[in-house]
Amino acid sequence: MSARPAGPIACRSCDLHEVCRLCGMIAIGESGGLQRTGALRTLRAGTRLFRAGEPAHSLFSVRQGMLKTVDVGSEGEERIVAISTPGDVIGTEAFGTRIYKHDVIAVQPVVCCELPLSLLSDQYTRVRELASALINLLSRASAPRTPLARGSSRERVAGFILDLARRFEKRGLDGRRFSLGMTRQEIASLLDTRIETVSRMIQSMRRDKQIEVEGQQVTLLSLSPSA
């Protein structure tokens, strides 16, 4: 009963869509829904998209599945600092330095689009619309995000689930019934708490009829993604 990965999503609800389109990488004559881009890439759960410190060749966008952005602490413990869901763009920080800053690892089977940085650099100097699109993309990505690891553990877990729900909804996926897509351990790492606490909070929310739970599958009841 392995939960299906989140997505796939349509190109039009991807953050990279405009940039992608201007790069002329979307096949001509596409008909609605899902489209082919220049470079698709698939990863099995647990495999790495890239590593911190590595030279950066590409920008990625998530088509299907979820990935974790990981910070390795001084003692080697992995701390998850972000989760990427379908429609998100990964690697925007490498534009200047051409070096990735974190490990990024698939937590589910992933399909993503790959856009070579060289291609972008070549073209935005010629196509000013592309420069604009890139600037808009990076601008959005530069907004300080409200951290999930704040408040009581109950608030963190509820915040995490709501955050996922809103993101899915924004991309045209189901924001009321979906898979958490990762283990309790990974959720705990993201929320800077413990696996037992995550489990207890989820069960507690279930008893309070806020959600229904079956493994990683969640259904929102009194919680609402639009709230």
Tokens of 160: 């995490």
Binders of DNA in range 130-189 (CB under 7 A) = 152-154, 183-185
How many residues appear in the chain?
A: 227
Stretch that binds DNA, among 28-36, 54-62, 117-125, 193-201 (CB under 7 A): 193-201
CA distance 69 to 80: 6
Q: Which residues of the chain form contacts with a second copy (CB under 8 A)?
A: 69, 71, 79, 81-82, 92-97, 101-102, 124-125, 128, 131-132, 134-144, 146-147, 149-151, 192
**According to the binding rule CB under 7 A, does residue 193 interact with DNA?**
yes
223 binds, among DNA, a second copy, none (CB under 5 to 8 A by kind): none
For residue 43, what are the β-bridge partners?
110
CB of 220 to DNA, least distance (A): 16
Q: Which long-range contacts (CB under 8 A, 24 or more apart) does 206-215 make?
A: 210/158, 211/161, 215/1, 215/3
Interface contacts to DNA, rule CB under 7 A = 1-2, 152-154, 183-185, 192-200, 202-203, 213, 215-216
